[in-house]
C-alpha cells in the first residue's frame, strides 16, 4: 500500500512479510510437543522402577561397665562429736578468813573426800573456843542452882527460865566457836584430783575466796546434740562406742536424753557416761560417739558412682534385665574409708560403675562386666562382723566408719540423720 500526499511529502508504506508469523508457529509447536510429552505417561505408562529398600541404621547403644551387687544386713550407727567432761568439777573456797598456817598437799594430788588441803592459824579461834566452854559451864551451874532452889521453894520459876535461856545462848556460842575452829581446815568436798591450788603458807585469805579446784573424772560425761530426725533412735540405756582424740577407746551408756529442743539449733541434748575408774582418760578432750541404732539392708558402693537427677536428687543408676537404665533415689546408711553403704536399691542390682554420667534413665545401653570393681567390693567385710586375725580367728573388731567427722554435736551422724 502506497499513498502519495498532495503536498509532495513522502510517507511510510507497509507491505506484508511472509516470515513475520514464523515465531508464532514455532511457539505453538513447542507447546503442543510439551503437552503431548506430558500426556504420554497416562496413555503409555512406563514400567515402574524397582524400589530399593531403604535401610535405617539404628543408633549404637552406649557401652557402660556394670557390676552385680547383693544387699547385705548392716548395723546402723548414729555418730556424734562431743567433749569429755568430768563427773564433778568445783572450786574449793575458804569458809573463813585469816592467815594460812599450813598447806598440807600439793597441786595435782589425788584426794579423798574430806581430806585436809590447808589449815588457817587457829590461835585466836582456839581462845574463843575456850572462852565459850567456860561460859557454857558457868551457865550450866547457874541453871542447876536455880532448879535446886525452885525445888526447895526458895527461888521462883522466872529465875529458872532465865537461867535456861542463858545456858542455851552459851551452848550456841560454844557450837559457833567449834565451827569456827573446824572452818580453819580447808577440805576436799569429794574425792578427786586437785587441779589447782592458789594459796601458800603465810598468805591471808578472805572468806569465800577460791583457793583451788578439784575435779572428779571417774566417770566421764559426754554431752552430744541429737538432730530432730534422729531423736527416736536414741534411748536411755543404749550402749555407745567412744573414741577419744588421744587414741583411747571405751564403751559408755546413754544416761539422759532431753525432751526439749534447743531454741536456736533445734537439737536435743543427750549425755553418755563413760567409766574411767583409773582416771587414765583426762577430762576436756574431744570424743567421738557411735551409738548402734538397729539393722538395715544396704549395698556397699563407691561414692564415685553416685549421681544426681534433674531435680538434684542423690541416687544410683542401674541396668535392668532389658538393659534399660533406671535411676534409684538412695539414702546413705553408713560411711567407711573405702566406700559407703546405701539403701534404696533393689536387693539384687546391676549397678553402673563406669559411664553413668553419659546415660540417662530410660536409655538402652550395652552393659559390660566390670571385674575390677566386683573383686574390690567382694573383698569388703560387712560392718559389725568380726575380721579374721593372722591365725584365721575372729578378733571381734568393729569396722570403723569413715566420715566420722563431726559435726560436733549433730550431728553428724552416719544414720544421717
Q: How far apart are CA 237 and CA 253, in angstroms?
A: 6
pLDDT for 385 equals 42
Residue 262 lies in a domain: yes
Torsion 156-157-161-167 (CA) sign: positive
pLDDT for 34 equals 81
End-of-domain residue from the set 361, 378, 395: 378
Same-domain status, 367 and 267: yes
Q: How far apart are CA 268 and CA 295, in angstroms?
A: 23
Q: How far apart are CA 130 and CA 278, in angstroms?
A: 45
Report the SS3 class of residue 7. Answer: coil
Same-domain status, 359 and 319: yes
CA-closest candidate to residue 168, choices 148, 144, 149, 140 = 140
For the record, the C-alpha cell of 383 comes out as 560392718
Q: What is the CATH number of the domain that holds 109?
A: 2.40.50.100
Provide the greatest CA pair distance for the chain. 205
Residue 411 lies in a domain: no
Q: How far is CA 113 from CA 105, 163, 193, 208, 215, in A?
A: 14, 42, 11, 20, 12
Same-domain status, 299 and 360: yes
Residue 236 lies in a domain: yes
The whole domain housing 160 covers 122-183
Residue 110 lies in a domain: yes
- Per-residue DSSP letters for 392-408? S-B--PPPPPS-----B
Q: What is the CATH number of the domain that holds 174?
A: 1.10.287
What is the value of pTM for the model shown?
Answer: 0.56
Residue 15 lies in a domain: no
Report the SS3 class of residue 80. Answer: strand
Residue 9 lies in a domain: no
End-of-domain residue from the set 135, 167, 183: 183
* Cβ 284 vs Cβ 84: under 8 Å: yes
Same-domain status, 196 and 320: no
Residue 35 lies in a domain: no
Residue 18 lies in a domain: no
The cell 536399691 sits on which residue? 345
Q: What is the tens place of the pLDDT at every residue in 181-231?
A: 888 899 999 999 999 999 999 999 999 999 999 999 989 999 999 999 889
Beta bridge partners of 296: 74
Q: How far is CA 205 from CA 96, 117, 262, 280, 357, in A?
A: 8, 14, 41, 34, 75
Tell me the residue length of the chain.
Answer: 417
Beta bridge partners of 187: 116
- Which residues of the chain are under the pLDDT cut of 50? 1-2, 52-53, 374, 377-417
pLDDT for 18 equals 59
Same-domain status, 363 and 226: yes
Q: How far apart are CA 230 and CA 294, in angstroms?
A: 12
For the record, the C-alpha cell of 205 comes out as 585469805
- Helices and strands in the chain: count of H runs, count of E runs: 4, 20
Same-domain status, 252 and 357: yes
Q: How far apart are CA 137 and CA 98, in angstroms?
A: 28
**Cβ density class 282-298: b for 16+ within 10 Å, e for less:** bbeeebbbbbbbeebeb
Same-domain status, 242 and 354: yes
Q: How far is CA 367 from CA 61, 67, 68, 324, 370, in A?
A: 9, 9, 11, 9, 9
Same-domain status, 113 and 202: yes
* Cβ 105 vs Cβ 387: under 8 Å: no
CA-closest candidate to residue 282, choices 248, 254, 252 = 248
Number of domains making up the chain: 3
For helices 123-152 and 157-182, what crossing angle results, to 10°?
A: 160
Same-domain status, 222 and 239: yes
Same-domain status, 337 and 274: yes
CA-closest candidate to residue 287, choices 406, 370, 117, 203 = 406
pLDDT for 37 equals 75
Same-domain status, 200 and 305: no
For the record, the C-alpha cell of 214 comes out as 578439784
End-to-end Cα, the chain, rounded Å: 118
Same-domain status, 243 and 366: yes
Q: What is the CATH number of the domain that holds 228?
A: 2.40.30.170
* Cβ 176 vs Cβ 169: under 8 Å: no
End-of-domain residue from the set 168, 183, 198: 183
Amino acid at each position: 500500500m502506497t499513498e502519495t500526499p498532495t503536498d509532495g511529502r513522502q510517507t511510510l508504506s507497509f507491505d506484508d512479510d511472509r516470515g513475520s508469523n514464523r515465531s508464532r508457529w514455532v511457539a505453538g509447536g513447542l507447546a503442543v510437543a510439551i503437552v503431548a510429552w506430558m500426556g504420554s505417561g497416562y496413555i503409555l505408562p512406563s514400567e515402574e522402577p524397582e524400589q530399593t529398600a531403604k535401610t535405617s541404621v539404628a543408633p549404637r547403644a552406649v557401652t557402660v561397665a556394670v557390676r552385680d551387687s547383693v544387699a547385705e544386713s548392716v548395723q546402723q550407727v548414729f555418730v556424734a562429736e562431743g567433749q569429755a567432761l568430768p563427773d564433778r568439777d568445783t572450786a574449793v573456797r575458804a569458809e573463813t578468813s585469816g592467815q594460812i598456817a599450813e598447806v598440807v598437799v600439793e597441786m595435782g594430788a589425788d584426794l579423798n573426800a574430806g581430806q585436809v588441803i590447808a589449815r588457817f592459824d587457829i590461835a585466836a579461834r582456839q581462845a574463843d573456843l575456850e572462852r565459850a566452854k567456860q561460859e557454857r559451864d558457868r551457865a550450866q551451874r547457874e541453871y542447876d542452882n536455880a532448879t535446886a532452889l525452885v525445888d526447895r521453894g526458895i527461888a521462883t520459876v522466872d529465875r529458872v527460865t532465865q537461867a535456861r535461856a542463858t545456858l542455851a545462848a552459851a551452848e550456841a556460842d560454844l557450837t559457833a566457836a567449834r565451827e569456827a575452829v573446824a572452818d580453819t581446815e580447808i577440805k576436799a568436798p569429794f574425792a578427786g584430783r586437785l587441779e589447782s591450788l592458789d594459796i601458800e603458807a603465810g598468805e591471808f585469805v578472805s572468806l569465800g575466796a577460791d583457793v583451788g579446784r578439784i575435779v572428779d573424772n571417774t566417770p566421764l560425761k559426754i554431752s552430744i546434740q541429737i538432730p530432730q530426725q534422729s531423736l527416736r533412735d536414741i534411748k536411755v540405756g543404749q550402749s555407745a562406742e567412744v573414741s577419744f582424740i588421744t587414741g583411747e577407746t571405751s564403751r559408755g551408756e546413754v544416761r539422759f536424753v532431753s525432751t526439749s529442743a534447743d531454741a536456736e539449733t533445734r537439737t536435743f541434748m543427750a549425755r553418755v557416761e563413760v567409766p574411767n575408774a583409773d582416771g587414765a582418760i583426762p577430762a576436756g578432750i574431744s570424743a567421738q560417739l557411735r551409738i548402734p541404732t538397729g539393722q538395715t539392708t544396704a549395698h556397699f558402693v563407691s561414692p564415685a558412682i553416685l549421681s544426681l537427677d534433674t531435680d538434684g536428687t542423690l541416687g544410683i543408676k542401674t541396668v535392668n534385665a532389658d538393659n534399660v537404665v533406671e535411676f534409684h533415689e538412695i539414702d546413705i546408711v553408713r560411711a567407711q574409708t573405702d566406700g559407703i553403704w546405701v539403701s534404696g536399691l533393689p536387693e539384687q542390682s546391676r549397678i553402673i560403675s563406669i559411664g553413668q554420667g553419659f546415660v540417662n534413665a530410660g536409655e538402652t545401653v550395652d552393659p559390660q562386666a566390670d571385674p575390677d570393681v566386683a573383686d574390690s567390693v567382694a573383698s569388703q567385710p560387712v560392718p559389725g562382723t568380726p575380721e579374721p586375725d593372722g591365725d584365721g580367728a575372729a578378733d571381734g573388731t568393729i569396722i570403723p566408719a569413715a566420715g566420722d567427722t563431726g559435726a560436733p554435736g549433730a550431728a553428724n551422724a552416719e544414720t544421717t540423720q
